[in-house]
Amino acid sequence: MTPEIQKELISLAIESRQIAYAPYSNFLVGAALLTVDGSIYTGCNVENTSYGLCICAERTAICKAVSEGHQEFQAIAVAANPFATPCGACRQFIVEFGKQIEVIAVDANNPEHVKNWVIEELIPENFKF
């Protein structure tokens, strides 16, 4: 992935968090997912009064991409403030589609604070059926 594409993913993830529905935690998260063909799908977190029904930004973006016929991904950027990495559920959700997907985490209020991993580094002993 080029630095320009990473910058675009970060920008879209930061932008996407602005439409998050997080009235309970006020923790806005945005994501931007890059498919192998270069398409980008965004997502935001959507909370529910029954917390178990909440969906994270990462899973929203992946579900949007899958519902449009994509199942191969290169990278996902996640923007939050304060800085945060994907939760355990999202890590398992991401690794379902490949162990080498790049994960980019960024502080939405300080876009220079960026960390990159390959998903397998974040969930090395992932569940496989």
What is the token pair recorded at 95?
A: 């690794």
- Which amino acid, 82? P
- CATH fold of the domain at 3-122: Cytidine Deaminase; domain 2 (3.40.140)
Could you report the per-residue pLDDT of 34-58, keeping only the tens digit for each? 999 999 999 999 999 999 999 999 9
- Rounded Cα distance between 81 and 42, Å, is 17
Angle at CA 31, nearest 5°, toward 54 and 96? Answer: 75
The token pair that represents 61 in the structure block: 């973006």
Return the pLDDT at 40. 98
Catalytic residue among 4, 58, 120, 121: 58
Q: How large a percentage of the chain has pLDDT more than 70?
A: 100
**C-alpha to C-alpha distance for 129 and 124, rounded to whole angstroms:** 15
Token look-up 């960390």 returns 115
List the chain domain ranges. 3-122
Note if 58 is an active site residue.
Answer: yes
Q: What is the pTM of this model?
A: 0.96
